Structure 1
């Protein structure tokens, strides 16, 4: 027990020394993205929640973080940043899960709808660490379900690859005596204690050889040259940060709360700044993400396809994603050279995904058409009935998901038959209806229908 205690003490001392050194070397972290901070808890109004929902519908990039109580590990807050273009104002939500609305309330249903929109299929979720590790402790609150179908970016994992590639890129520029290139990153590492602050090449080699992950504090120091304090990590986060919470713990001062609030917001905005820096570097390794299939626990790495729209500052909402419908290999990492040959398609929401691992795609060439026809015939003969059935199901899904391009989402606690009867009573012409986990999805023909029926159907029309 004594060696472990001594080791923990050395770690605490190292962290304290790093905090002191970073505080001396760098200016305090300042967010580069303008943002407005909002709290979500049992005193949040329906109008506020509707505003968050409306913003989520027009946002596709979200930064996530969570905090739990020190010692007890009670999951206490979820931080979500609605990441807009760098010159636009972004929402930062602090969702206080220790003070949620009662589960039977209308506000709670709105909050569930908010999470559904955030985790919809075409969303990009950015975290520092594995999203599933962040969210699993919060499943007990019934706000969402895992896995989510969004594109998941573990920025911590990608950063290590990107930083190595960036240093190699910088070295190439230096070898070519191209010191005036605007894309060159110059990192001046002071000659201090090498255990705490290393030269970029040295820390990169150590982390790669030991397979160590970067902390967001280190990444902020080396990339943004700013000090991101982490002293508030070990705190009691369930005390009630917003003054509107009536049952908040009143033994903590408002100054103490403000420090915790600033810490929680900075965790999101600093990650957004790092993401922006990586994308604007045009280094291909910055483009990896993960998409979790909704029907299995496995996941695969994807790479985004549009090499000309990498800048969050200019094209934040125009990032093109890959949705290869015929290939689903668990833990498959696409080679960088393949990214221009993969099929590009829009990631539209669909609520019942199926995956076919056994379909072989043949790429036709006009010069080899006859040979390919013979090959396809042989493949069809070898395909099993089960694989053929899955392929047919997948084809049907590709057609059916277009019925949800224009959709309305409402909470529901009635059967699909009663829902259809109600829609007929309202005179609503729908393409498709579907119920998934107490959420009703109504597919419509046009954007005009969506606007008209959105006003016609209240949130409690089907409850």
Structure 2
């Protein structure tokens, strides 16, 4: 959750300007002026011609941000949006205004869940952890999407705070599975001082991003060559040991890995390349401290709705990809699976070999005894 833009306070009087923008979308859109038409849309920025008053570091940040926004716009034009019917989920805002009845409803729901997807967002003004998103994966939909607004919590001695701690006691049991895109411990560690849960977390943590590249290589290779032999151990071991496989020559329905060796996939790219669906990443750098609860947020309605969609769909996308990646599904199986099945807990664990169950140095099950010092 690192800021993409960095400006000195005295640079072209930008501090006031930045403080008035709700999101990266607001910033990059009107930032670069065109004499003939007023403002240049973010996706039409000339990345080779950043504003002259910026220093080298600022220009580099400006160019990188413009590139990200151009890519976001291009993907938006090319692919349909990833969408879940609102009947599939219920959003729960957890802050000092949450009622005890709502918290008890959430706790009762979580008691029967063993799988959860996590994400976090950092406040744009200071990069402080501001929002924790938790999506439940129940036996039957609807799931709950919990939006924990850390900067708007009640005091320690309130019943609501006690209920929140009770919620995390249920979620962070050793039998539970937690999914994330990126290191969950690294993202949650800044919240330890809130005393909402015991540290270290003892649940099983699966970083889907960590294994995505290997799975994608496996799926590309298998897609054309191995047909009905996809789940044999020797196939999986061969793909992992053969680093010279030219993935682009083995599959015609999916594009080759665009990343260099060792690079981690972005969540948007992972969804686009796997199933040709789009999630909007333009709200990544936003003022999350202003809150998403519609009854108490100080954001404009339009901005709040964009940020809300971004926050919940980052969780949804990780959930959508988790089972295919961790259970070594083929592209065809992903395509033929009803989306409902990916958002409900599986009735039985698969006996098929998977990339995550085989030993390798980047095993996604992180040692829960490690106490990270970040």
Match of 2:92 among 38, 44, 54: 38
Verify the 8 A CA contact 1:43 1:244 in the aligned structure 2. no
TM norm structure 2: 0.67
Q: Structure 2 matches for 1:29-428, cutoff 5 A? A: 29-31=82-84, 34-85=88-139, 88-173=141-226, 188=253, 200-203=255-258, 206-207=259-260, 209=261, 211-245=262-296, 248-249=297-298, 252-278=299-325, 281-282=328-329, 312=342, 316=346, 318-319=348-349, 334-335=358-359
Call closer, same or farther: CA 1:233–1:354 in 2, change over 3 Å. closer
Supply the distance in 1 between the matched residues of 2:350 and 2:195 (Cα, whole angstroms): 31
Cα-to-partner distance string for 1:322-350 (whole Å, 9 max, x where unaligned): xxxxxxxxxx98538xxxxxxxxxxxxxx
Of structures 1 and 2, the one with the larger relative CO (CA 8 A, separation 6+) is: 2
Aligned equivalent of 1:387:
none
Give the count of matched residue pairs: 275
Moved over 6 A (4+): none
Gaps of 5+ in 1: 177-184, 190-199, 284-310, 322-331, 337-352, 356-463
Instruction: State the secondary structure of the residue aligned to 2:127.
Output: coil
Call closer, same or farther: CA 1:313–1:48 in 2, change over 3 Å. closer
Call closer, same or farther: CA 1:97–1:317 in 2, change over 3 Å. farther
Kindly state the Cα deviation for residue 92 of structure 1 after the two structures are TM-superposed. 0.6
Kindly state the Cα deviation for residue 55 of structure 1 after the two structures are TM-superposed. 1.3
Verify the 8 A CA contact 1:187 1:222 in the aligned structure 2. no
Verify the 8 A CA contact 1:276 1:313 in the aligned structure 2. no
Instruction: State the secondary structure of the residue aligned to 2:289.
Output: coil
Instruction: State the secondary structure of the residue aligned to 1:129.
Output: coil
Verify the 8 A CA contact 2:219 2:329 in the aligned structure 1. no
Instruction: State the secondary structure of the residue aligned to 1:238.
Output: helix
TM norm structure 1: 0.54
Supply the distance in 2 between the matched residues of 1:43 and 1:120 (Cα, whole angstroms): 27
Verify the 8 A CA contact 2:112 2:138 in the aligned structure 1. no
Verify the 8 A CA contact 2:123 2:289 in the aligned structure 1. yes
Instruction: State the secondary structure of the residue aligned to 2:154.
Output: coil
Instruction: State the secondary structure of the residue aligned to 2:134.
Output: strand
Call closer, same or farther: CA 1:175–1:98 in 2, change over 3 Å. closer
Call closer, same or farther: CA 1:15–1:141 in 2, change over 3 Å. same
Supply the distance in 1 between the matched residues of 2:163 and 2:350 (Cα, whole angstroms): 29
Instruction: State the secondary structure of the residue aligned to 2:290.
Output: coil
The reply to whether residue 15 of structure 1 matches residue 46 of structure 2 is no
Kindly state the Cα deviation for residue 174 of structure 1 after the two structures are TM-superposed. 7.0
Cα-to-partner distance string for 1:415-457 (whole Å, 9 max, x where unaligned): xxxxxxxxxxxxxxxxxxxxxxxxxxxxxxxxxxxxxxxxxxx
Aligned equivalent of 1:375:
none
Cα-to-partner distance string for 1:370-398 (whole Å, 9 max, x where unaligned): xxxxxxxxxxxxxxxxxxxxxxxxxxxxx
Kindly state the Cα deviation for residue 215 of structure 1 after the two structures are TM-superposed. 0.6
Gaps of 5+ in 2: 1-53, 230-249, 331-340, 361-367
Supply the distance in 2 between the matched residues of 1:175 and 1:145 (Cα, whole angstroms): 46
Larger radius of gyration: 1
Call closer, same or farther: CA 1:186–1:242 in 2, change over 3 Å. farther
Kindly state the Cα deviation for residue 274 of structure 1 after the two structures are TM-superposed. 1.3
Supply the distance in 1 between the matched residues of 2:115 and 2:64 (Cα, whole angstroms): 35
Instruction: State the secondary structure of the residue aligned to 1:112.
Output: helix
